[in-house]
Chains A and B, each alone.
Chain A
């Protein structure tokens, strides 16, 4: 077998030029999945037949002298909360067992139209609620770098698929960190774009004012390539931004000379592991060496972000998940009346964490508690937006850890939901503000597991964010470099 390049950009170039067939690329990746996904469990479903047909179509286009597009022949994994027409879509929940969506998500249409080969549906925490992928009805995904550890979550399957080499790129969704945190824990790049930049049509809703779809990849440039392919206005999503999409690839090499980058003091102290904080300082030094001006900045309301998020997101989820009632799709547990059928179905179909969040949200929205919880949380959200506005008056980008620790062991945090929620402390504020952020691998922690550095930008600031990410990528220490 000829050598298959490891990045999407190289694969697409080779397939477009005819020097490599999409079929060869696919066979190579299917063999890797065969060899190791029994252990990793990144995929809920490997779409062997559909992927073979798509690869044959790409090869036929090349043979006919046509250009299949910027992702020609690139295997791509889809988080299993993205609707795929006629192909099971489960959200890793029993309640959607057997459901085959009657349409494709907009992002699925766009990657297919760009020539990508959708290779499978990846595991997640049920309905994207979790930070370890331990809440899946199909069993946990394992971290490819150490299978005794979690891959993070909720997009743990998409992160692990890229880290294990099952696909060079994948798509996930990020409501409070569900792309960035697993990217950090698995040692890959993960991006949460500006709210509204990528259409959510066909993304099964968790918390609609926060959810956003974004890419995973091994390189910064591959995430730029994939984000360019999926971004842009879509009339089928009423929150889609009707503006030109940022151009990312062309400015990727422009560096950070003269950029002002702020170190968020609130997210560098208590709760952040010393080895993770040390890598973030090292990353800031690398940006300074490349010409950026580094300064400290305060985002005081970020301290309240976690509490506000764990009222707002469950409140929205309790409303969004009301639709799983055993009537129109998925499983049904029969009972004499509709009300009893609804309850029996939801009780059998939802897992523990989903029930916890539905109840938390129902409580936060209920009469007598609304003002104290949900109402207050929305006001805190305003404070966070204002704090970021002040920070971005003085800085072009901000830098923080992505996750307070490196990947933890299975079962470490499952008994205490709050300890699991604290994983999201650095990632949540950007979701509340609707801004873009990304995680870039930057060496290892004291345990040799990957550390992710998070870059944050104001709304639609992706191009600048990617320039800094490219600098970090080229300056990143090797994973096994001794921690000091």
Chain B
């Protein structure tokens, strides 16, 4: 059995997932996610030792193609969809504390 989900767990997960939550959000999500995880306890409490995991329905193999240049999507068209662009590249705000 797993420990019950806490408000701190939800705050940490939101931070990892880059989501900002208000106090009211935290209360609500803690309650709702706990209900879902409680339901999932039927799985969490099963004894599944020796059962291999299935991550995918098909037996997958790497797909390779010939090393030949083919036309990709249009660079200007892709850049035209970005919120901010400079010198034909995506532009973002400061990353490591440098002046913007």
Q: B-contacting residues of A (Cβ < 8 Å)?
A: 99-100, 102-103, 195-196, 209, 235, 238-239, 241, 303-304, 306-308, 310-311, 318, 325-332, 334-344, 346-347, 350, 355-356, 358-360, 362-363, 366, 369, 372-373, 375-383, 385, 416-418, 421, 432-435, 459
Residue contact B54 to A382, C-beta cutoff 8 Å: yes
Residue contact B43 to A418, C-beta cutoff 8 Å: no
Which of A241, A310, A340, A363 makes the CB contact (< 8 A) with B58?
A241
Q: Which of B67-100 contact A (CB under 8 A)?
A: 73-74, 77-78, 81-84, 90, 92-95, 97, 100
Q: Which of B26-68 contact A (CB under 8 A)?
A: 29, 32-33, 35-37, 39-44, 46, 48, 51-58, 60, 62-63, 65
Residue contact B53 to A209, C-beta cutoff 8 Å: no
Residue B24 CB within 8 A of the other chain? no
Interface of chain A: mostly helix, strand, loop or mixed:
helix
Residue contact B44 to A421, C-beta cutoff 8 Å: no
Residue contact B58 to A103, C-beta cutoff 8 Å: no
Nearest-Cβ distance from residue B29 to partner chain A, whole angstroms:
6
Residue contact A343 to B18, C-beta cutoff 8 Å: yes
Cα–Cα, bound, A165→B2 (Å): 49
Residue contact B95 to A359, C-beta cutoff 8 Å: no
- Supposing A338-B93, A363-B33 touch, asked if A347 and B20 sit within 8 A by C-beta, the answer is yes
Which of B2, B60, B92 makes the CB contact (< 8 A) with A239?
B60
Ranked 10 nearest A-B pairs via Cβ: A434-B57, A378-B53, A332-B83, A379-B48, A381-B54, A307-B43, A379-B51, A102-B73, A347-B20, A238-B63
Residues of chain A lying within 8 A (CB to CB) of residue B46 = 304, 376, 379-380
Which of A241, A311, A339, A375 makes the CB contact (< 8 A) with B53?
A375
- Chain B, residue nearest A235 (CB): B65
Residue contact A417 to B53, C-beta cutoff 8 Å: no
A-B contact pairs, 21 of them (CB 8 A): A196-B58, A303-B42, A307-B43, A310-B40, A327-B92, A332-B83, A336-B93, A343-B18, A346-B17, A346-B18, A356-B32, A359-B10, A360-B36, A362-B17, A369-B2, A380-B46, A381-B53, A381-B54, A385-B54, A416-B35, A421-B36
- Chain A, residue nearest B43 (CB): A307
Residue contact A328 to B82, C-beta cutoff 8 Å: yes
Residues of chain B lying within 8 A (CB to CB) of residue A103 = 73
Residue contact B29 to A306, C-beta cutoff 8 Å: no
Interface size of B by CB at 8 A reads 52
Residue contact A355 to B93, C-beta cutoff 8 Å: no
- Chain B, residue nearest A382 (CB): B54
Q: A-contacting residues of B (Cβ < 8 Å)?
A: 2, 5, 9-10, 13-14, 16-20, 29, 32-33, 35-37, 39-44, 46, 48, 51-58, 60, 62-63, 65, 73-74, 77-78, 81-84, 90, 92-95, 97, 100
Cα–Cα, bound, A155→B65 (Å): 34
Nearest-Cβ distance from residue A176 to partner chain B, whole angstroms:
13
Residues of chain A lying within 8 A (CB to CB) of residue B90 = 327-328
Residues of chain B lying within 8 A (CB to CB) of residue A418 = 32, 35-36, 39
Residue contact A363 to B9, C-beta cutoff 8 Å: yes
- Supposing A304-B46, A362-B13 touch, asked if A378 and B19 sit within 8 A by C-beta, the answer is no
Residues of chain A lying within 8 A (CB to CB) of residue B32 = 356, 417-418
- Supposing A307-B39, A338-B93, A362-B13 touch, asked if A325 and B18 sit within 8 A by C-beta, the answer is yes
Nearest-Cβ distance from residue A421 to partner chain B, whole angstroms:
7
Nearest-Cβ distance from residue A443 to partner chain B, whole angstroms:
31
Cα–Cα, bound, A196→B63 (Å): 13
Residue contact A336 to B100, C-beta cutoff 8 Å: yes
- Chain A, residue nearest B56 (CB): A209
Which of A304, A325, A336 makes the CB contact (< 8 A) with B42?
A304
Which of B16, B41, B77, B100 makes the CB contact (< 8 A) with A102?
B77
Nearest-Cβ distance from residue A376 to partner chain B, whole angstroms:
5
Residues of chain B lying within 8 A (CB to CB) of residue A375 = 53
Residue contact A306 to B54, C-beta cutoff 8 Å: no
- Supposing A376-B48, A382-B52 touch, asked if A338 and B36 sit within 8 A by C-beta, the answer is no
Residue contact B83 to A335, C-beta cutoff 8 Å: no
Residues of chain A lying within 8 A (CB to CB) of residue B58 = 195-196, 239, 241, 434
Nearest-Cβ distance from residue B34 to partner chain A, whole angstroms:
10
Residues of chain B lying within 8 A (CB to CB) of residue A432 = 54, 57
Residues of chain A lying within 8 A (CB to CB) of residue B62 = 238
Residues of chain A lying within 8 A (CB to CB) of residue B63 = 235, 238
Nearest-Cβ distance from residue B33 to partner chain A, whole angstroms:
6
Cα–Cα, bound, A102→B54 (Å): 34
Cα–Cα, bound, A418→B37 (Å): 10
Nearest-Cβ distance from residue A356 to partner chain B, whole angstroms:
6
- Supposing A235-B65, A307-B40 touch, asked if A342 and B35 sit within 8 A by C-beta, the answer is no
Residues of chain A lying within 8 A (CB to CB) of residue B74 = 102
Cα–Cα, bound, A366→B3 (Å): 14
Residue contact A326 to B83, C-beta cutoff 8 Å: yes
- Chain A, residue nearest B12 (CB): A366
Residues of chain B lying within 8 A (CB to CB) of residue A239 = 56, 58, 60
- Supposing A307-B39, A311-B43, A346-B19 touch, asked if A359 and B33 sit within 8 A by C-beta, the answer is yes
- Chain B, residue nearest A333 (CB): B83
Cα–Cα, bound, A195→B22 (Å): 40
